[in-house]
Amino acid sequence: MKKYLLAILIIGAAIISAACSKPSMDVDAESDRAPVPDKTVEAFGIVEASDIESISLDIEAVVEEVIVKEGQQVKKGDALLSLNMKEYKESMKGKQHELNIIRLEAKKMDNESSDPDIKKLENDLNFINIQMQEASKELEAQESLYKCGAISQYEYDKYIKAVDDKKKSAEDIKYKIDSIIRGNDIGSAIQSEKAAAMESEIRQMKDKINKDYISGDNIVCAMENGIVNEIGYKAGEAIIPGKKLISLLNSDTIVVKADVAEEFIKDVKQGARVEIIPVADKGRKYNGKVISIARKAIVQNGETIVPVEISIGNRDSFLLPNFNVDVKIYME
C-alpha cells in the first residue's frame, strides 16, 4: 500500500514539474524577442523666433524714456519707448499752414472774372464795339456817295480808316484781356503744382508716424506676444534715421533650428517626429516635428551641415529663445 502511494506521488510530481517547465520556456522565448529600439538622427539646435520685428524711424525726435528691458515679455499695445516728437509735429503744422496759403492764392487766381483790370477792359471793349458798329454803318453810307462821285477818295478813305482804327483798338483790348487771363492761368497752374508738392510732402510726413507700432508719442508692441530682443537707444538720445530703435521677437513663432550633418540628412523627412531636450535641464523633454529642411547645405566649423527647422508642440515658459537643445529626429 505504501509503495502504491509513493508511486502515485512520484507520478504527480512529474506531471506538476512538466506543467511548470512549459511556461518557463515561453518566457525565455519572449525575452529572446525584445523590441528593436527606434532609429534616430541626433543633432544640436538652438531655440529661435522665426519672426523678428525691427523698428526704426526717419523723423526728428528724441528718446525721452526707455520703458522696457531686454528679454522682457510684452503684449500687444504695451508701451516700449516714449518719444519727444514736438519739433516734427510742429514742422507738419507749418507745412499745413503753408499749404492753406497756397490754396487761397490759387483760388484767388481762379476767380479771374472778379479782376478789376479785366472788368475795366471788358467795359472799354463793349464801348469800342459800339463805336465800330456806328463807324461801319457810316462807311456803308459814304461808300454809296463815293461811287456816285459825291465825295472824293480822300474823304472816303477817312471813313475806312476810322473803322480800321476801331477794329485795332478792339483787338488791342482783347489781347490785354487774354494776357491777364493767361497770366492768371499760369499763376494758378504754378500754385496748383506747389500745392500738390506740399500735399505730397505732408502725406509722406504723416505716413512716417502712421504706423501700427506708434501710439501717440510712444513706440508700442504691435504683436500679440513679444519679447524685447534689442534696444538701440538710451533716454535723451536723438533718433538717427535708419538706426534701430528696438527689436522684438514674436514668441508665437518660436522654433528649434538644428544643424544635421550631411551624412544623416537622407534619413530626415519633413513631418518626422522629434524629441527636444534642453541643455539647461536634460530632465525635460519636448515633442516636436520637422517643418522644413533647407535646400542648401552650408559649411560650418569645417563641417558640412543642412539647417532643419523644428516646431515645438508642448513648449512652456521654461524653454527660452537662444537656449541650446539636443534633438532626436526619428527615422521612418
**Planar angle of CA 44, 49, 53, nearest 5 degrees:** 150
**What is the pLDDT tens value at each position of the chain, 332 positions in all?**
333 333 444 445 444 454 444 444 444 544 455 555 679 999 999 999 999 999 999 999 999 999 999 999 999 999 999 999 999 999 999 999 998 888 887 777 666 545 677 778 778 888 888 888 888 888 888 888 888 888 888 888 888 888 888 888 888 878 777 777 666 666 667 777 888 888 999 999 999 999 999 999 999 999 999 999 999 999 999 999 989 999 999 999 999 999 999 999 999 999 999 999 999 999 999 999 999 999 999 998 899 999 999 999 988 989 999 999 999 999 97
Long-range contacts of 186-192 (CB under 8 A, 24+ apart): 187/109, 188/106, 188/109, 188/110, 191/102, 191/103, 191/105, 191/106, 191/109, 192/106
Q: Select from 112, 259, 98 the least CA-distant residue to 183.
A: 112
**The C-alpha cell of 25 is what?**
520556456
Record the pTM.
0.63
For 111, the 3-state DSSP assignment is: coil
Quick: pLDDT tens for 153-187: 888 888 888 888 888 888 887 877 777 766 666 66
Tracing cell 506676444 back to the chain, one arrives at 225
Rounded-to-10 torsion of CA 99, 105, 109, 111: 90
**The C-alpha cell of 112 is what?**
479771374
Sign of the CA dihedral with 167 first, then 172, 176, and 181 last = positive
Q: Select from 290, 293, 277 the least CA-distant residue to 330.
A: 290
Q: What is the DSSP letter of 280?
A: T
Are 79 and 64 in contact, with CB atoms under 8 Å apart? no
Question: Going by C-beta distance under 8 Å and a sequence separation of 6 or more, which residues neighbour residue 164?
Answer: none
For 316, the 3-state DSSP assignment is: coil
Are 176 and 121 in contact, with CB atoms under 8 Å apart? yes
Strand partners, 219: 81, 214
Q: Select from 244, 247, 248, 215 the least CA-distant residue to 58.
A: 244
In DSSP notation, 38-87 reads PPEEEEEEEEEES-EEEEE--SS-EEEEE---TT-EEETT-EEEEEE-HH
Length of the chain: 332
Question: Going by C-beta distance under 8 Å and a sequence separation of 6 or more, which residues neighbour residue 294?
Answer: 306, 307, 308
